[in-house]
């Protein structure tokens, strides 16, 4: 009996998450109501409230789940310092490609800015951790450099998503890493 309830609970949460993402593709979270989510999910409001406090709580849970999933996904790879940045960027882009609709929705105009910040934190954690040691820069410079590089990279990724992912994850990883490593001199 308990296993059946767990499956039902998982299904309910899954359908509520999917319903919110569908609505977010059309309008911002502030314009969405719990009633609309429940109508799309074909679930009554009392059931919604047994799982989530409100639609903002649901969005936060979706973002936290994606963040955890990305960390697990990226943690499953091990690279040398020399190849780490490009390979981690490629793996991050592959993850985004595999979850295209979710990222199109959460990173674009109706998305939540805190999700972008979470993504930046994950990217900094995985792509920047060895820069300080390799480049012999202090902690303050490393923090500012990683903020500069990762925020620029996130915006390049958003542009890539808007352009229907017109380059492969590997090609985009090369582009992003060339920009990060060589800056404007890359264009010379």
Residues spanned by the domain of 158: 61-187
Residue 172, token pair as written in the block: 């985009």
Q: What is the pLDDT of residue 186?
A: 57
Residue-wise pLDDT tens digits, 108-132: 877 778 888 888 888 777 666 555 5
Task: Tell whether the model's pLDDT for residue 98 goes beyond 80.
Answer: yes
**The model scores a pTM over 0.85:** no
| CATH number, domain containing residue 100 | 1.10.357
Please indicate, yes or no, whether residues 45 and 67 belong to a single structural domain of this protein.
no
CA proximity to 51, closest of 15, 105, 86 = 15
Residue 99, token pair as written in the block: 């979850």
Please indicate, yes or no, whether residues 179 and 106 belong to a single structural domain of this protein.
yes
Tokens 């595999």: give the residue. Answer: 98
Please, are residues 29 and 105 in contact by the beta-carbon 8 Å criterion?
no
Please indicate, yes or no, whether residues 26 and 102 belong to a single structural domain of this protein.
no
Residue-wise pLDDT tens digits, 132-167: 555 666 777 777 877 888 888 889 999 999 999 999
Please indicate, yes or no, whether residues 100 and 15 belong to a single structural domain of this protein.
no
Please indicate, yes or no, whether residues 77 and 155 belong to a single structural domain of this protein.
yes
Residue-wise pLDDT tens digits, 3-55: 666 888 999 999 999 999 999 999 999 999 999 999 999 999 999 999 999 99
Please indicate, yes or no, whether residues 33 and 86 belong to a single structural domain of this protein.
no
Angstrom distances, CA of residue 151 to CA of 98, 154, 178: 22, 5, 15
Please, are residues 112 and 61 in contact by the beta-carbon 8 Å criterion?
no
């Amino acid at each position: 009996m308990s296993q059946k309830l767990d499956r039902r609970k998982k299904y309910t949460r899954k359908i509520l998450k999917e319903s919110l993402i569908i609505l977010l593709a059309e309008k911002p979270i502030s314009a969405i109501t719990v009633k609309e989510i429940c109508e799309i999910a074909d679930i009554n409001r009392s059931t919604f409230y047994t799982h989530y406090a409100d639609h903002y709580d649901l969005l936060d849970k979706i973002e936290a789940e994606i963040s955890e999933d990305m960390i697990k996904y990226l943690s499953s790879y091990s690279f040398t310092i020399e190849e780490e940045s490009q390979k981690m960027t490629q793996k991050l882009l592959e993850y985004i490609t595999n979850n295209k609709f979710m990222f199109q929705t959460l990173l674009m105009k109706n998305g939540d800015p805190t999700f972008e910040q979470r993504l930046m934190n994950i990217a900094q954690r995985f792509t920047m951790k060895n820069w300080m040691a390799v480049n012999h820069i202090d902690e303050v410079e490393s923090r500012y450099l990683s903020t500069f590089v990762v925020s620029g990279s996130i915006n390049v990724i958003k542009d890539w998503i808007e352009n229907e992912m017109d380059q492969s994850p590997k090609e985009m990883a090369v582009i992003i890493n060339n920009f990060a490593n060589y800056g404007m001199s890359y264009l010379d």
